[in-house]
Structure 1
């Protein structure tokens, strides 16, 4: 059964989208159809400065060293979380920060899991949101899945190998692909249409949706278009830049954002041996020394701060510069600083601490030292 009531499709609100890796999801048969509003939604005019994100990071990083605890204070940024599980700055959290622990999984429509982190980030967006806040939403949009609206039966289109007829919003010569953080947001979107369609919802990995926008004839991506002011518009150029600096599989970010399991830290440690991460550095003081940010717990343990994407560094608002960090570089730092207790991933939240004993695969990459 389709998610909404039926109408004939219109060429103005459908584009084609490859069905690869798509998962069709539907509501139970007793789900009541929604009623249409009088007017279709206008394309949001929220803007975002690509300049705020363009050029983040570098092709390769310079040699950097951790601060020496016995020396004079180094220029590296340090934080002191209240407990080992919370490595975010002690200042009162504000968007785009998130709780250290992943949120509980919810389903706004039975059988259709929400992207809870994205949904909660969008709730904090108000009219006139800053670029930093919008980039904070972007970092949460990178994990998990997004829902897209499909005119007609998505399951049937996938089964027949047809391109998905994906709903869009048009603004004069521009068209924006629509995506949603939850099935409830999809339903709210359809309520605004004058002629509600037979619409199903399909869940796809977030990065797959973004790649479709970049590869297609789109001006950008609108997330939760009917939830103003809690909606965002991401220009295609920003999506492209974000994807260029992301791990295609989102391996580490997926582990960190998922509910904690007994082996979460172990799996993260193994992934770090194969995944490029990022560190936060500053430009140093008068001596030009460059420092990598670390966190220190109340019991004195020191953890290197690692980030799954440059946006995670920007989210902290400390003015640090994201720098790519390969597994071999991480191994070298850990091997050379045996006092380091491990690493803390994505301090802006959700956060995962990986102790040194879970980083055995990383340490195997360290160059052998001569006796």
Structure 2
């Protein structure tokens, strides 16, 4: 029988379960929500050290003069393809790439349960995780979790709880005196989690924007977030401190990442350009420690066109594995670089994938900021 009923829903709609079970326990208050322990679920086993985030942030990179031409980083530049819809020409075949990278083009959207879309990028990243995964691999999963939506488990009818103004009775895992909120990359992962329960009862799956879920963890009495708890070893545990840093250093709406994760449309480049005109991005900076001049990473096409590499989050810089430091880049700074260097053909956003090349002609919303600066 079907796990969930099919219905239209918004990103935070409650989707009732028709044949899904969970342990029926009494809720206890914890901030905006109540929590229901999932005692049958295993305790956290794969975690990521907060130290992996050391050096990431506004102070991570050296001062870089925007009046000088942007010098390429010491790593070999990634050459973008000449069209917006094609993957960068110099990138390896997607089949040969491993975490923390991802295919240049967004994956096809799937539904492991009819009517409920998977977070495919996150789900596929988790498939690569094994016991003893490195911090780099786990950070690769973290960056793919910063877009789209996550599912959370709610004991009882979430729709009724919302309509009655009650706090959601979210499922958690207890590990001693710590508790971890549960989240899932797909409805199928929710189903696997529920099947661990010994005493079935009504359970609801709720899809919420990922930033909303992370904010709930940070604001609540949680030690962290477990993603796909019943999918060992393909599961991860993110400590609250890491989630807080990820939120602080990213766009609250994750606008650019969300556009890049979605299927390509004719206006995808235009939408990214609009976002770049109002959203802080990041650049990858070589700090000169290897004896090469300090510079901002660029990409070049085979015909010599130069593209500035932009990143939606510091984790995107780390995912490249080149040892570059992320440096925040405001829209006015981007405008200054583009207007000051007419030879710059455009930008390539999130080269670690999914990625998008935006030609200079499409960057009018940003370029106009440069005109305002000069005037």
Give the TM interval when normalised to the shorter protein. 0.7 to 0.9
Q: How does 1:349-360 map to 2 (within 5 A)?
A: 349-360=353-364
Residue 219 (structure 1) aligned with residue 249 (structure 2)? no
The 1:87/1:64 distance shift into structure 2, 3 A limit, reads farther
User: Which residues of structure 2 form unaligned runs of 5+?
Assistant: 1-15, 34-38
The 1:220/1:327 distance shift into structure 2, 3 A limit, reads same
Q: Distance in 2 between matches of 1:41 and 1:94?
A: 29
State the match for 2:41 in structure 1.
41
Among 228, 232, 239, the residue aligned to 2:236: 232
State the match for 1:124 in structure 2.
128
Tell me how many residue pairs correspond in the alignment. 348
The 1:74/1:126 distance shift into structure 2, 3 A limit, reads closer
Instruction: Tell me how far 1:195 sits from its aligned partner.
Output: 1.3
Q: Distance in 1 between matches of 2:310 and 2:136?
A: 20
Q: How does 1:128-139 map to 2 (within 5 A)?
A: 128-139=132-143
Q: Distance in 1 between matches of 2:247 and 2:373?
A: 37
State the match for 2:51 in structure 1.
51
Contact 2:224 2:237 in 1 (8 A): yes
Instruction: Tell me how far 1:82 sits from its aligned partner.
Output: 6.8
State the match for 1:24 in structure 2.
none
Secondary structure at 2:295's aligned position in 1? Answer: coil
Secondary structure at 1:2's aligned position in 2? Answer: strand
Among 203, 218, 237, the residue aligned to 1:199: 203
State the match for 1:266 in structure 2.
270
Q: How does 1:33-182 map to 2 (within 5 A)?
A: 40-59=40-59, 62-64=63-65, 75-81=73-79, 83-84=81-82, 85-87=86-88, 90=91, 92-182=96-186
Residue 319 (structure 1) aligned with residue 323 (structure 2)? yes
Contact 1:4 1:197 in 2 (8 A): no
Summarize deviations over 1:84-114 as a string: whole Å, max 9, x none: 4334864542101110111111111111110
Q: Distance in 1 between matches of 2:325 and 2:89?
A: 17
The 1:40/1:199 distance shift into structure 2, 3 A limit, reads same
Q: Distance in 2 between matches of 1:286 and 1:149?
A: 48
The 1:41/1:297 distance shift into structure 2, 3 A limit, reads same
The 1:316/1:94 distance shift into structure 2, 3 A limit, reads same
Q: Distance in 2 between matches of 1:276 and 1:61?
A: 18
The 1:300/1:242 distance shift into structure 2, 3 A limit, reads same
Instruction: Tell me how far 1:257 sits from its aligned partner.
Output: 1.0
Instruction: Tell me how far 1:208 sits from its aligned partner.
Output: 0.6
Bigger shift: 124-133 or 292-301? Answer: 292-301
Q: Distance in 1 between matches of 2:132 and 2:321?
A: 18
Contact 1:97 1:349 in 2 (8 A): yes
Summarize deviations over 1:225-253 as a string: whole Å, max 9, x none: 00001000000111111111010011111
State the match for 1:301 in structure 2.
305
Q: Distance in 1 between matches of 2:22 and 2:348?
A: 51
Contact 1:99 1:350 in 2 (8 A): yes
Bigger shift: 238-247 or 298-307? Answer: 298-307
Q: Distance in 2 between matches of 1:295 and 1:67?
A: 17
State the match for 2:8 in structure 1.
none
State the match for 1:9 in structure 2.
24
Secondary structure at 1:112's aligned position in 2? Answer: coil
Secondary structure at 1:188's aligned position in 2? Answer: helix
Contact 1:222 1:231 in 2 (8 A): yes
Q: Distance in 1 between matches of 2:374 and 2:272?
A: 30
Q: Distance in 2 between matches of 1:368 and 1:141?
A: 36
Bigger shift: 188-197 or 269-278? Answer: 188-197
State the match for 2:13 in structure 1.
none
The 1:157/1:367 distance shift into structure 2, 3 A limit, reads same
Secondary structure at 2:57's aligned position in 1? Answer: coil
Contact 1:221 1:236 in 2 (8 A): yes
Secondary structure at 1:227's aligned position in 2? Answer: coil
The 1:78/1:8 distance shift into structure 2, 3 A limit, reads closer
State the match for 1:275 in structure 2.
279
Q: Distance in 2 between matches of 1:125 and 1:177?
A: 20
